[in-house]
Amino acid sequence: MKKQHIKKTIRSMFILLLLLMICLLTGCKTSEKKLAEESKEPVKISIILTVDPSTGTKNEQKVVEAFNKKYKGTYELDVDWIVETEADYRQNLKRLNATDELPDIITDLRMLPSFYQKMIAENRIADLTPYIDADEEWSSMIEPVVQEGCTYADGNIYLAPISTAAFSCCGIFWNQELFNKAGIDSFPTTWDEFWACCDKLTNAGITPLALHTDGTGWAPMLLASAAVASSSEEGAEFMSLIYPDTYQNASGLELANTLKRLFSYTTSNALYNDFDTAYNNFFTGKAAMVPNGYWMIDQIPDGWEQCVRFSSFPGNTLVSSPETFGWALTSGCSEEVKEGALAFFKFRTEFNLLEKEKMFSMEEKYISQVERDYLKAFSNSPTFVPNYQVKWNSVFQENTLSKYLPQLAEGRITPEDFLNYADDSIRQFEEEQ
């Protein structure tokens, strides 16, 4: 009996020892796996984003930080923050493409129409259509107007429809204190009233408009586009044309005359300078109005919140092209990077949707006056005019405007001369294709 007992004890100890060894080995493997997972680097997705030269604000910083937090350890947006204007960045895209140094995600591509077409023709950017179609959750978040704008002529989607129309609108920011000083109680609702408003501000010793000519003539072109589009059906059709075959028509002449007239109401340093000059002139009180989009609300300097207002252009018109915020995915990136970029596009879509819902649901007392103004303008059944930058040829935008708009403003060329140069841009653009 004693021997049997000893045998049982030995057997039990052997089993316990075996179990202990198994546990130790399993634990080691689990620890090794855990350590391996913890040491694994997240998939980095390269992207270039701008730092506003005027304010030092990192554009898109909030959404970048939110995405990196959510996908910590899995994906990481690897941002190259550059201090330059969006216009400078867009020009640099062409150089980056030529040297094969494009980031994984390309922003603002739609703002360069001919380059955008070139990237599609050369298969430099990915077709996102199958990924959107396969993801019901993502596709349900996309506003139809945004998806339509991001859909190319071949029926495919090369720009992620991540934005919302609510955040893409452009109108006029105006200084209520300067308006009051000139005896103007409200923003004009018609173009006749607008020109009368400019005269009244001038007579009060106040420069009406903060404008510029460099880049794509953004600020004056916004005003002129809205004026032409709201003047007649022909004007609206003209501003909606993709690559007009001539500017020699009544709407083209109205555009040129409007541009010339606008520059009679601006600052002395408006010519041969970019939008930063216009921005600084407005936010130093040197001008009473500046055209721009929703995004400038976040760029209002401290202390200016109480006097800055927002209105649609006269004629209840807003310039809006939400597809301009669609971002592309370079086709040469790895599958892991592609999956991460698609995750970001979906995240960005949802992020914008939630921001929109938040803004529209907040009580008025919790948002600024300029935000209330914007919501009112957007919700007041405005006429939406397409952004000329996604419709008209790049030579006109990038060369003709910056070269000849100052000459038009100074009276060195006539509106008719300006239109001749605009038509020259059409021929040059066609030759470059």
Q: For each of the domains in the chain, give its residue range(s) and CATH number, in order of start.
A: 43-166+324-361 (3.40.190.10), 169-320+374-432 (3.40.190.10)
Specify the pLDDT at position 331.
Answer: 94
d(CA 403, CA 396): 10
Specify the pLDDT at position 89.
Answer: 84
pTM: 0.80
* CA distance readout (Å), 26 to 11, 160, 371, 409: 22, 45, 59, 79
Specify the pLDDT at position 83.
Answer: 87
Residue 18 has pLDDT above 80, yes or no: no
CB of 310 closer than 8 Å to CB of 376: no
Question: Between 152 and 10, whose confidence is greater?
Answer: 152
d(CA 160, CA 146): 9
Band the pLDDT of 364: cuts 50, 70, 90.
Answer: confident
Q: What is the pLDDT of residues 192-224, one digit of tens each?
A: 999 999 999 999 999 999 999 998 899 999 999
Q: What is the pLDDT of residues 254-263, one digit of tens each?
A: 999 999 999 9
Bridge partner list, 80: 48
Q: What is the pLDDT of residues 127-151, one digit of tens each?
A: 999 999 999 999 999 999 899 989 9
Residue 35 has pLDDT above 50, yes or no: no
**What does the mean pLDDT of the chain come to?**
90
Bridge partner list, 309: 174
Band the pLDDT of 433: cuts 50, 70, 90.
Answer: low
d(CA 169, CA 222): 11
Question: Comparing C-alpha atoms, which of 408, 407, 382 is closest to residue 172?
Answer: 382
Question: Comparing C-alpha atoms, which of 114, 322, 97, 98 is closest to residue 106?
Answer: 97
* Residue 200: how many other CB atoms lie within 10 Å: 16
Band the pLDDT of 323: cuts 50, 70, 90.
Answer: confident
Q: What is the pLDDT of residues 58-67, one digit of tens each?
A: 888 999 999 9
Question: Residues with Cβ < 8 Å from 387, sequence gap 6 or more?
Answer: 170, 225, 319, 320, 321, 324
Specify the pLDDT at position 200.
Answer: 98
Give me the residue label for tokens 């554009």.
59
229-233, 259-263, 351-355, 418-422, range with the lowest pLDDT: 351-355
CB of 228 closer than 8 Å to CB of 239: yes
d(CA 352, CA 30): 40
- Range of 103-117, 169-183, 386-400 with top mean pLDDT: 169-183
H or E segment to which residue 80 belongs = strand 75-82
Question: Comparing C-alpha atoms, which of 104, 109, 105 is closest to residue 92?
Answer: 109
Which amino acid, 245? D
Backbone phi, psi, residue 318, to 5°: -125, 140
Specify the pLDDT at position 113.
Answer: 77
Specify the pLDDT at position 398.
Answer: 84
d(CA 226, CA 385): 7
The DSSP string of 375-414 is HHHHHS-PEEE--GGGTS-HHIIIIIHHHHHHHHHHTSS-
Q: The tokens of 341 are what?
A: 């970029």
* CA distance readout (Å), 374 to 169, 293, 339, 380: 9, 10, 36, 10
* CA 265 from centroid of its chain's CA atoms: 28
225-234, 346-355, 386-395, 409-418, range with the lowest pLDDT: 386-395
